[in-house]
Amino acid sequence: MIENLKYIYVVNLLIFCSIFNSCKAQDTSFSFLQKELGKAPLNVEYKVSKKADISIEYPVGCGEFLQEYLNKLVDKDFKFEYCQNEGAIINVKYEVGFLTANFISIKKDVQIMFCYASDVVYSEFVNVLLLQEDTYSVNLKTESEFVKSRIQNELQSKNVDEECNYEDNDFSLNLYFKGNHPSVYLDKDKVCNILFPIEMKENIFLWKKIKI
């Protein structure tokens, strides 16, 4: 009986420590992000590289670690087969929304022409935070009730194009730091998209430890 109680105690203690450490890590990440957003942003310069049918514009001078990460993204773009048709034109642009020595927010725009029946245009977003020895991706908690409420309020308060029909919920939600403030990028297609600011709240962010 006593051994069973000891076992239950140890298991509960391990569970508590795991939850506590997870919450503590999230608190630390959020606090560190707030400090980074309070800093003056670094200046960004861009470079254009071309290879075959693809042209990529991307930032340079983003610090050794973040620049290494960006260079890997660009290398993947050159290797990725966006289109098999000869004569296609692919333009990729990385736009930095906010940059410090430890944080970067990027909007990646992709345009594919002369490949499909109509041009393909879409955007992807990357937010990376360096925290001591760890690297985190920062995304939006799309299931958050607060986020859902802000989206509904935004759609109701603006005269959005009826042809976009956002009510069908067929759109993607992305986190983008345009300047030192978080924003939601609601993306339906190349015509129907909305960027609006959202309050800086801890429970709207999704943290994931990544390796670069």
Tell me, yes or no, whether 200 lies in a domain.
yes
pLDDT at position 12? 44
Q: Which two tokens stand for residue 62?
A: 């983003």
For residue 6, is it within any domain? no
Alpha helices in the chain (DSSP H): 2-37, 64-79, 145-157
Whether residue 143 lies inside any domain: the answer is yes
Mean of per-residue pLDDT scores for the chain: 84
pLDDT of 18-73, one tens digit each?
443 444 445 588 999 999 999 999 999 999 999 989 999 999 999 888 999 999 99
The number of domains in the chain is 1
Helix, strand or coil, per DSSP, at residue 166: helix
**Residue 84 domain flag:** yes
For residue 83, tell me if it sits in a domain. yes
Q: Give the pLDDT band (50/70/90) at residue 172.
A: confident
110 is a domain residue: yes
- What's the domain range around 101? 45-210
Measured distance CA(210)–CA(69) in Å, rounded: 11
Q: Say if 204 falls within a structural domain.
A: yes
- Say yes or no to pLDDT of 184 above 50: yes
Q: What is the mean pLDDT of residues 146-166?
A: 78
Question: Cβ atoms within 10 A of the Cβ of 85, count?
Answer: 11
Element (H, E) at 205: strand 205-210
d(C-alpha 94, C-alpha 87), whole Å: 23
Q: Which of 41, 46, 42, 38 is nearest to 70 (CA)?
A: 46
Q: Give the residue, 171 or 147, on which the prediction is more confident.
A: 147
> What does the pLDDT look like over 83-136, one tens digit per residue?
989 899 999 999 999 999 999 999 999 999 999 999 999 999 999 999 888 899
Residue 4 is assigned to a structural domain of this protein: no
